[in-house]
């Protein structure tokens, strides 16, 4: 690490703290590398990593020989270890790719062969009777399915938070509300101007997701273009999660893997996504047409979807490049700019493998030794809802706030909210607390607990209640005291 | 002069056409029962409302104390009444029914607390 | 494990009245378990007047109405736990609750479910658009304004013209915000006429019937909504879009009985009300587990909640004391032709003291129609109503003698006709 006129020159600046940027940050923290992660949003995982299917893909879908195939299969195998080291939810529930007629069989066979080429060993095809035994709520017109035991589910934002917290405790600096506006390279050092100050580094990891084209284009003459591909989802009440145990795919199309029906790692049922290329990278609105497509296509797999059990709908944007693969590597004309672009599905699954590869490239380039103090373990907030009664008694004895339930739908206690507020990344918006505790994520969607949560947050931060936000500047819950405008 | 009203006495919600002459109700049409006629007369000559609101509260876990006008006040005085409540702040404890402001806006009616804190 | 005779889950209007009912029938060992820091439930935030006309023949605000019952609870010395959340109720009436002093395990002879209801959130409506700050259910906003004294925004659009939405339109206006419009999907309002006049008309707030919000705009804070007219099938009509700028959206689009615990207790739920199915004693399908108030079916008037809950408390007491009548064959109540459901859904005439109230809602607006009741096909009652609407709960009472007239009745059909 060099110090120049009082400004720290970081070895590495990661631009973008989604699941990719955070995973890279953690892998770099295994080495003696001074790393800063710059994020334009108010928290980690607020872009594509917040709103996606949360699927750990087996790896049958990507074309053999592509980076997608490589990192998918490698990444998928890393999840057991990662989730146990970092304490985030992961379950290898298995995926099924369902065909509804005999004419779909050749495609299932092709996917199976492709998966085997990619290195999957346990694929099989199962026919109607066996399939319905496995998943009795599938529609009875199913014909056969590809069984992918390697498929799994995780919570994308809980994973990103876990990885980022571990990276922080191993020395990575995270800066929020820092949108890169201009980058130049002077005497071999990158100068990154952001909305939150200027930062300098020797290397840049471009993990800016939807905006990774702009970051690249600030420096490279090899221009990239990311097309935001929007996916809309409906999330169902926990009462519906037992409709299926596997992740149910339909046969894929040119636009992606189609509408899936899956239990989530947190115990809800998720249906989606649609797939539409749009122009506006900030447009995460849902549409009437999209939501109705989610339901109609989801019903093709599971007819029993009960619309009245939807608790929320949302959309996310995938960072789609013009062609069908990731970019992982140095920009040809900008030494030191390592691009991680077009990381759409299976990006979440690939994140651990991509991060390991980047750390390998960077540590060799910087010739840095391993960090002897690296601690791979991160403990998450102990969740009241996941404790048994003996654990609950002990937790309350230790900390009486564990007996104070704030969010009744998800049984989130004041103790958990305070721990989230005091977590190492230091984020304090309502949505940040929500993603760390599940407060307000249940069937009432925060109607009961918002006021109490606002009070707890304001008290802990020592601010007026009107200053508490939903997700950063301009998103305050309360406007003013009664009668102030009279 | 004609005035159109919706009767509030029952779910029928009769649409009342009231003929007024010099402030007096001359005729009410559209009422299914007598209650509608009585309602129209009061509503056109001396409409009143109970006003409920909150005032600021100190020294308690809650920061707003619910209050009301002890009896209906003229409809035209509602805005003035709210203005009068604007700057009021009171310290706990407060008992239910306690008079917070006497004779609000010269109506002869008191503002009282509707909750004990 | 501590033993109680009657455990009441929820200290709102239903739980309070149920406790008083049980006490008056001679039960001493009662406990009320309340999640919030105060008794009174939702009444504490309903600071408007209009409560108590049936019960006390005077017009009270919500907190005043609640205080009458809370005073009674204190006078009777009925024990209650505050800041205590029930986590589980089992079919054999074991209760696990939690508060900051630890887990509480109780074994009750009878349980009264009185948890109330919650509001339908935005997700349940699947309104397209962005997900900015500034979208609240009407009840949440009511809590902000009435309990804490803060306004959620400056310019609001309210979706849904149920009473909470109407009441909040007036509250926001009085406290200094501007309510741009109240949007109602149906061709009629779900709220009381009195509230439409006194909460909207008094302040010149437009009520747009047969309209809905078709898009929410704004990335950080709400910046506006697109409102469209709907056709007879309640689908938006293209070309009728109107944009209304606002920074706040309140949703008043229905209430859902909160029955997660009822399910744990093994109580069967009705698909129509979302609450447990109960018999004449307000007992659910699990013996010794009773339900009352909005957890059973959503009420319009708290007075009816109190009356119903008092009966639930009395029934629970009789059950504990072993004084319930030996069960006769229960008569099934069958809703038909415009009657959506009935509470209760079965009647054992042996347990009727002098009369029984049947409460129900209709599925549409009916003018000059009759409510009719058929005992195994025989017309027993035909009563004219000038108007019936889905927003108004209906009541029909049968005196005990009626059941003597039709011994062995299997089904009573309740219908709208004429």
> What is the mean pLDDT for each group of 10 consecutive residues in chain A (486 residues)?
65 98 98 97 92 95 96 98 97 96 94 97 96 96 96 97 97 96 95 96 97 97 96 93 95 78 96 94 89 93 91 92 92 97 96 97 93 96 96 97 94 96 88 94 85 93 93 92 93
% of chain C beyond a pLDDT of 90? 85
> Which chain B residue is nearest to residue A451, measuring alpha carbons?
B62
As a whole number, mean pLDDT of residues C186-199 equals 90
Q: Is there a contact between C147 and B96 if contact means CB atoms under 8 Å apart? A: no
Helix (H, G, I), strand (E, B) or coil at A236: strand
> Cα torsion at A89, A93, A95, A100 (round to 10°)?
-130
* Residue A133: burial class (beta carbons within 10 Å; 0-12, 13-18, 19+): exposed
> Chains meeting C at 3+ CB pairs closer than 8 A?
A, B
| Res C281: pLDDT | 95
pLDDT for res C326: 66
Is the domain of B91 the same as that of B41?
Answer: no
On average, the pLDDT of chain B sits at 91
Work out the end-to-end distance of chain C between its first and last CA atoms, rounded to an integer number of angstroms: 57
Tell me if A284 and C130 make a contact (CB, 8 A cut-off): yes
| Whether residues B40 and B75 fall in one domain | no
CA–CA dist A81, A8 (Å, integer): 34
Note the pLDDT of residue A2. 45
Considering the domain architecture, whether residues B27 and B10 belong to the same structural domain is answered as yes
- Selecting from A401, A445, A480 the residue whose C-beta is nearest the C-beta of C121 gives A445
One DSSP character per residue, C181-236 reads: EEE-SSSS-SS-HHHIIIIIGGGT--EETTEEEEEEE-SSB--EEEEEEB-TTSPB
CATH architecture of the domain A2-49+157-226+324-366 equals 3-Layer(bba) Sandwich (3.50)
CATH 3.40.190.10 fits A91-152+227-320, yes or no: no
**Integer Cα distance of C106 and C94 in angstroms:** 6
- B64/B105 same-domain check: yes
Interface of A with C in 229-288 (CB under 8 A): 234-235, 282-288
Class assignment of domain A384-485?
A: mainly alpha
Give every CB contact of residue C76 below 8 A, 6+ residues apart in sequence.
Answer: C19, C20, C23
Q: Which domain holds residue B12?
A: 2-45
Option in C96, C132, C175 nearest A483 (CB): C175
Domain identity same for B62 and B40: no
Residue B11 vs residue C351, higher pLDDT = C351
Question: Are C144 and A451 a contacting pair at CB < 8 A?
Answer: yes
Position A6 scores a pLDDT of 56
Q: Determine the distance in angstroms separating the CA of A480 from the nearest CA of chain C, rounded to an integer.
A: 6
Residues B31 and B76 in one domain: no
Q: For this structure, is A202 an active site residue? A: no
Q: Which helix (H) or strand (E) holds A416?
A: helix A414-421
CATH 3.50.50.60 placement within chain A: 2-49+157-226+324-366
What per-residue confidence (pLDDT) applies to A324? 84
Say whether both B62 and B109 belong to one domain: yes
Partner-chain contact B64 C147, CB within 8 Å: yes
* Cβ within 8 Å, pair C126-A484: no
For an interface test with A, the pick among B58, B65, B86 (most A C-beta atoms closer than 10 Å) comes out as B86
ipTM surpasses 0.90:
yes
pTM of the model as a whole: 0.92
Helix (H, G, I), strand (E, B) or coil at A455: helix
- Specify whether B39 is located in the same domain as B6: yes
- Cross-chain residue pair B114–C61, CB shorter than 8 Å: yes
pLDDT for residue A3: 45
Q: Closest Cα to residue A9, out of A35, A40, A37?
A: A35
Residue A221 at interface with chain B, using a CB cutoff of 8 Å: no
Tokens of A371: 């960090």
Task: Please spell the DSSP secondary structure of C9-22, one letter per residue.
Answer: E--SHHHHHHHHHH
**A486/B83 CB distance under 8 A:** yes
A-contacting chains (≥3 CB pairs under 8 Å) = B, C
Q: Does A485 reach chain B within 8 Å, measured CB to CB?
A: no
Question: Which of C119, C133, C260 best probes binding to A when mutated, by most A CB atoms within 10 angstroms?
Answer: C133
* B79 in the same domain as B61: yes
Pair (B27, B78) in one structural domain: no
Q: In which band, very low, low, confident or very high, does the pLDDT at B106 lie, cut at 50, 70 and 90?
A: very high
pLDDT for position A256: 64
State yes or no: cis peptide before B86, omega within 30 of 0: no
**pLDDT (average), residues C276-303:** 95
Provide the domain count of chain B. 2
Q: Could you report the per-residue pLDDT of A45-100, keeping only the tens digit for each?
A: 999 998 999 999 999 999 999 999 999 999 999 999 999 999 999 999 999 999 99
Q: Where in chain A is CATH 3.30.9.10? A: 91-152+227-320
User: How confident is the model over C212-236, as pLDDT tens digits?
Assistant: 999 999 999 999 999 999 999 999 9
What is the predicted pLDDT for the residue at A1?
Answer: 44
Claim to verify: residue B65 and residue B108 sit in the same structural domain: yes
Q: What rounded mean pLDDT belongs to chain C?
A: 94
Q: Say if residue B79 is in the same domain as residue B109.
A: yes
Q: Do A482 and B83 touch (CB under 8 A)?
A: no
Across the interface, of C49, C149, C387, the residue whose CB is closest to B63 is: C149
Is the Cβ of C241 closer than 8 Å to some Cβ of chain A?
Answer: no
* Residue A482 sits at the chain B interface (C-beta within 8 Å): yes
**How confident is the model over A11-33, as pLDDT tens digits?**
999 999 999 999 999 999 999 99
């Amino acid at each position: 690490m060099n110090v120049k006129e009082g400004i720290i020159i970081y070895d590495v600046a990661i631009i973008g703290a989604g699941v990719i940027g955070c995973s890279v940050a953690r892998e770099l923290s295994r080495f003696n590398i001074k790393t800063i992660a710059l994020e334009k949003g108010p928290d980690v995982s607020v872009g594509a990593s917040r709103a996606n299917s949360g699927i750990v893909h087996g790896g049958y879908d990507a074309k053999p020989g592509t980076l997608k195939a490589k990192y998918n299969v490698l990444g998928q195998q890393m999840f057991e270890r990662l989730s146990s080291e970092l304490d985030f939810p992961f379950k290898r529930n298995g995926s099924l790719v369902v065909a509804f007629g005999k004419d779909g069989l050749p495609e299932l066979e092709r996917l199976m062969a492709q998966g085997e080429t990619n290195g999957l060993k346990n694929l099989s095809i199962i026919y109607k009777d066996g399939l319905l035994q496995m998943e009795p709520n599938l529609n009875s017109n199913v014909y056969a399915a590809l069984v992918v035991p390697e498929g799994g589910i995780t919570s994308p934002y809980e994973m990103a938070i876990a990885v980022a917290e571990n990276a922080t405790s191993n020395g990575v600096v995270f800066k929020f509300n820092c949108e890169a506006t201009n980058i130049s390279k002077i005497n071999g050092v990158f100068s990154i101007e952001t909305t939150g100050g200027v930062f300098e580094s020797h290397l840049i990891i471009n993990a800016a997701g939807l905006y990774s084209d702009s970051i690249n284009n600030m420096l490279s003459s090899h221009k990239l273009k990311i097309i935001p591909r929007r996916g809309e989802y409906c999330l169902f009440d926990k009462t519906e999660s037992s409709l299926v145990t596997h992740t149910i795919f339909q046969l894929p199309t040119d636009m992606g893997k189609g509408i899936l029906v899956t239990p989530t790692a947190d115990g809800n049922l998720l249906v989606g996504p649609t797939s539409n290329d749009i122009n506006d990278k900030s447009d995460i609105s849902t549409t009437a047409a999209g939501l109705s497509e989610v339901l109609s296509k989801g019903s093709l797999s599971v007819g029993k979807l009960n619309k009245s059990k939807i608790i929320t709908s949302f959309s996310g944007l995938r960072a789609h490049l013009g062609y069908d693969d990731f970019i992982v590597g140095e920009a040809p004309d900008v030494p030191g700019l390592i691009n991680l672009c077009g990381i759409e599905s299976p990006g979440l699954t690939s994140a651990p493998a991509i991060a390991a590869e980047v750390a390998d490239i960077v540590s060799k380039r910087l010739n840095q030794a391993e960090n002897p103090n690296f601690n791979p373990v991160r403990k998450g907030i102990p969740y009241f809802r996941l404790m048994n009664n003996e654990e609950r008694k002990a937790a309350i004895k230790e900390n009486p706030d564990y007996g104070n339930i704030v969010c009744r739908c998800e049984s989130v206690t004041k103790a958990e909210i305070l721990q989230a507020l005091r977590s190492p990344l230091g984020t304090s918006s309502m949505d940040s607390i929500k993603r760390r505790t599940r407060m307000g994520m249940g069937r009432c969607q925060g109607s009961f607990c918002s006021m109490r949560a606002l009070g707890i947050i304001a008290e802990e931060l020592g601010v007026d209640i009107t200053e508490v936000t939903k997700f950063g500047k301009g998103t305050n819950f309360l406007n003013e005291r009664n009668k102030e405008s009279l | 002069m004609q005035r159109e009203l919706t009767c509030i006495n029952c779910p029928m919600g009769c649409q009342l056409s009231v003929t007024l002459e010099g402030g007096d109700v001359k005729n009410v049409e559209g009422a299914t029962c007598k209650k509608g006629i009585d309602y129209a007369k009061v509503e056109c000559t001396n409409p009143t409302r109970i006003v409920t609101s909150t005032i600021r509260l100190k020294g308690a876990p809650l920061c707003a104390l619910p209050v009301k006008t002890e009896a209906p006040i003229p409809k035209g005085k509602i805005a003035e009444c709210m203005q009068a409540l604007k700057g009021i702040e009171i310290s706990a404890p407060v008992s239910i029914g306690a008079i917070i402001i006497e004779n609000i806006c010269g109506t002869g009616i008191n503002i009282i607390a509707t909750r004990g804190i | 494990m501590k033993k109680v005779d009657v455990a009441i889950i929820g200290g709102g209007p239903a739980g309070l009245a149920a406790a008083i009912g049980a006490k008056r029938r001679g039960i001493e060992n009662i406990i009320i378990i309340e999640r919030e820091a105060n008794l009174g439930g939702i009444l504490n935030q309903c600071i408007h007047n209009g409560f108590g006309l049936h019960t006390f023949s005077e017009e009270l605000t919500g907190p005043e109405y609640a205080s009458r019952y809370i005073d009674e609870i204190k006078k009777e010395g009925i024990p209650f736990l505050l800041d205590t959340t029930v986590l589980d109720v089992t079919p054999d009436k074991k209760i696990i609750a939690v508060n900051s002093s630890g887990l509480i395990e109780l074994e009750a002879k009878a349980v009264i479910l009185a948890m109330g209801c919650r509001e339908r959130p935005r997700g349940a409506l699947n309104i397209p658009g962005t997900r900015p700050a500034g979208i609240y259910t009407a009840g949440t906003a009511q809590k902000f304004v009435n309990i804490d004294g803060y306004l959620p925004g400056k310019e609001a659009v309210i979706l849904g013209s149920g009473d909470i939405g109407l009441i909040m339109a007036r509250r926001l206006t009085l406290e200094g915000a501007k309510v741009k419009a109240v949007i109602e999907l149906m061709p009629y309002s779900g709220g009381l006429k009195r509230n439409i006049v006194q909460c909207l008309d008094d302040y010149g707030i437009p009520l747009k019937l047969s309209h809905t919000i078709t898009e929410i705009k704004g990335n950080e804070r709400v910046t506006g909504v697109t409102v469209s007219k709907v056709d007879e099938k309640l689908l938006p009509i293209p070309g009728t879009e109107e944009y209304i700028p606002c920074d706040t959206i309140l949703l008043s689009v229905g209430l859902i009985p909160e029955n997660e615990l009822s399910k744990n207790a093994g109580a069967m739920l009705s698909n129509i009300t979302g609450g447990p199915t109960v018999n004449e004693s307000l007992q659910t399908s699990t013996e010794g587990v009773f339900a009352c108030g909005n957890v059973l079916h959503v009420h319009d008037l708290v007075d009816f909640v109190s009356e119903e809950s008092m009966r639930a408390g009395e029934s629970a007491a009789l059950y504990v004391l072993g004084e319930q009548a030996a069960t006769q064959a229960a008569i099934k109540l069958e809703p038909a032709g415009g009657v959506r459901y009935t509470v209760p859904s079965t009647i054992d005439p042996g347990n009727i003291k002098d009369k029984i109230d049947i409460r129900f809602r209709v599925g549409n607006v009916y003018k000059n129609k009759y409510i009719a009741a058929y005992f195994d096909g025989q017309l027993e009652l035909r009563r004219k109503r000038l108007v019936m609407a889905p927003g108004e709960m209906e009541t029909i009472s049968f005196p005990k003698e009626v059941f003597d007239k039709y011994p062995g009745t299997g089904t009573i059909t309740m219908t709208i006709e004429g």
